[in-house]
Chains A and B, each alone.
Chain A
């Protein structure tokens, strides 16, 4: 575990050095989560994460990369460092938002 923290720290330093890092953060365990639904008249607060799954989000990196291949290569390194699976998703851009509205 300690080694994973150290490796992840080193990976974060590399991201920063190479100009990819925007922001990174670890999340406290899912047991600390409270789910809030404010869609009704009175907000409903529920103990626990929104999705009850075996896996939960342990943290995230927000990076800049020119294309998916580069992002995937970095994610592979991050995954090795933190000993976890990494899901890669692009941020929504103005163009993708427009597409969402027009289709």
Chain B
């Protein structure tokens, strides 16, 4: 086997097996630190041994066995130093054989442990990326533009709380899933959004984060295929990510949806996203639960991406979907996005009146001022439009977005 093939096998195993191995060991040893460190050691062993001995026929099984041995070695070493470790208890594997069914999956336990409501949101994100995604502390720190020590501290504190407060590592019940899935999906979407429109720094898009979020979305769908919102979130991320290549110009400027080269969209991702949206529409039509937030957002993106050109967009459908979304979630940002669609159906002055009603809630948000600026421009009110662009530029953290807004401002007449 070539070095390159072995390298690819290790990369694939890291992507596909990391969370499973960590989850399996966490279940057996009841300790996230041991689980994680032993898994990392098993991958180090794979890097050393697979090029020499060849890739084992069942890489996942090999990794679990190796990681388990490493964990036991570690517990033995520590138990000699420290009597409080009841090594004997951990050295015999009395866990039941792998139960069947998706909800029994070790990775699902891991998701629900990482996203436990008793942990702060930032800790949930860091822990999910570390334990499920296998991202290093340095990678997470880079993605979120904070110091490595900050991320390391968040992860350490979260693990300490899990252990000291007795956050259980158990298969979520149907009730848990109902109550906590929203939090889990929010974490995944947070990771995706941070990757898609980075809130600061020099990189406008962080592909590592969007890829990771989609991977977590796919994992959740494998585990909970019948949950509409899980499918909706995956569809939403795929439909947004499909447009990534068209979203930045060669000069690093943000290209808005109406100006994007639709030929540069990723056809495969769009087809997959549309199929998932159709699946949900059929399920709801067959008497399933009404569509939730992510399904509605996915449907909106499906309407956008189904149009052959920006002019052909069925804006009235988009307004109708935003109306349903606003009933579920009357947040000012939802109303702002709805107003953008209203501008296309009823004209910019109707939309501007709606947007102006949101001033108190959204005055500190760059997209609010960018939307106002655009509507004012279309109404020929250049002076007010320029002032709104200035506010938007001052508030935007993303470099590509700032460049775009600056150009639009400078193009204003007068």
Contact = CB atoms under 8 A, between A and B. Distances in A.
Interface of A: 66-69, 71-72, 88-90, 94-96, 98-99
List the 6 closest A-B pairs by CB distance, nearest first: A67-B168, A67-B166, A68-B167, A68-B166, A68-B165, A90-B165
A85 to B, nearest CB: 15
Interface residues on B, range: 10 to 19
B164 A96 contact: yes
Given A90-B165, A96-B164, A68 B84 contact: no
Nearest to A95: B84
A99 B164 CA distance: 10
B118 interface: yes
Nearest to B84: A98
A59 B68 CA distance: 46
A92 to B, nearest CB: 9
Nearest to A69: B168
12 contacts: A67-B166, A67-B168, A67-B170, A68-B116, A68-B118, A68-B168, A69-B167, A71-B166, A88-B165, A90-B164, A94-B84, A95-B84
Nearest to A103: B160
Interface string B189-206: 000000000000000000
Contacts of B117: 72
A72 B118 contact: yes
Contact of B166 (A90, A94, A98, A99): A90
Contacts of A96: 164
A69 B116 CA distance: 9
A98 B85 CA distance: 11
A67 B84 CA distance: 21
A90 to B, nearest CB: 5
Nearest to A67: B168
Nearest to B112: A69
A99 B165 CA distance: 14
A67 B167 contact: yes
Contacts of B168: 66-69
Contacts of A69: 167-168, 170, 176
Contacts of B167: 67-69
B287 to A, nearest CB: 32
Contacts of B170: 67, 69
A4 to B, nearest CB: 25
Nearest to A65: B166
